[in-house]
Amino acid sequence: MGVPISWFWSRSFLLSRLFLWVMFIFNFLGTVYGYIWYGNQIEDTVSNHPLWQVVFVPDSPTASLFFTLTLLYWLFPPQGNSRFVNGARMIIEGLAVVTSIKYGIWAVSMIVAGSMQGDPLQWEHWMLMVSHTAMAVEVLLYARFMRAGVGAAVIGTLWLLLNDTVDYTYDVFPWLSDRLMDDLTAVKWFTYSLTIFSFIVGALALRARKET
């Protein structure tokens, strides 16, 4: 008999060391690529804005970084029962969940919105849509194995709200297609709304978690 499809999102498959390493490598490389992708905007921010605002520029790769760190906890489980280590782990997991859901959906939405207004879709756009969709899907698959609870999702959401506020107050939001710049107010409120949506979905996913 063949392997049932359900096995591929089972605990035994998703938490196997081989698959965790595959996930780690892909997410690590994607994180590095993401920071490189934001390179020009980071340089522009350093040159024209206060240095502290740089932290809020690379949204998607930072979300990917949180999930990459989460994978490390499974690959190399901390020894002992340190409250600090466990607390840091839960906060990172909460950040990974809400930020990956949000920026996975946000990036795809902006590409589709630009395309609907006349932007031609290049191969980079298709690559970004696939990779950002994967960000949201993978974190939802793994949320049920995380230790984080709703409290950690709240912390992650507060970070997102701060990020949104800095982005659209100081104009350090991710660079948009020229065709979307006249819709900036709509993009702003969509971004805030997506933060709340990501909290709701992330909190529900974490409430369904199983202890690892």
Task: Report, as an integer, the average pLDDT of 115-141.
Answer: 94
The runs of H, that is alpha helices, within 117-183 are 123-143, 150-170
Residues of the domain holding 82: 5-207
Do 205 and 140 form a contact (C-beta atoms < 8 A)? Answer: yes
The residue-averaged pLDDT of 183-197 equals 97
- pTM for this entry: 0.94
Q: How far apart are CA 127 and CA 147, in angstroms?
A: 31
Residue 212 lies in a domain: no
pLDDT mean over 185-195:
97
Q: Give backbone dihedrals phi and psi of 173, rounded to 5 degrees, phi first.
A: -65, 155
Buried b vs exposed e over 166-190: b needs ≥16 C-beta within 10 Å? bbbeeebbbeeeeebeeeeeebbeb
Mean pLDDT of all residues in 202-210: 84
* Model confidence at 63: pLDDT above 70: yes
Within-domain flag for 100: yes
3-state class of 77 per DSSP? coil
Is residue 210 pLDDT above 70, yes or no? no
Q: Residue 170 domain-assigned?
A: yes
Confidence check: pLDDT of 9 > 90: no
Contact 142, 149 (CB under 8 A): no
- Structural domains counted in the chain: 1
Grade residue 209 by pLDDT with cuts at 50, 70 and 90: low
209 CB contacts (<8 Å, ≥6 apart)? 143, 144, 145, 146, 147, 148, 149
- DSSP helix/strand/coil, 128: helix
Q: Is residue 181 part of a domain?
A: yes
Residue 11, pLDDT score: 86
48 inside domain? yes
Q: Give the whole-angstrom CA distance, residue 21 versus residue 18.
A: 5
Average pLDDT over residues 43-72: 97
**Residue 10, number of CB atoms within 10 A of its CB:** 11
pLDDT band at 58, cuts 50/70/90? very high
Closest CA to 140 of 58, 70, 37, 59: 70
Single-letter amino acid, residue 31: T
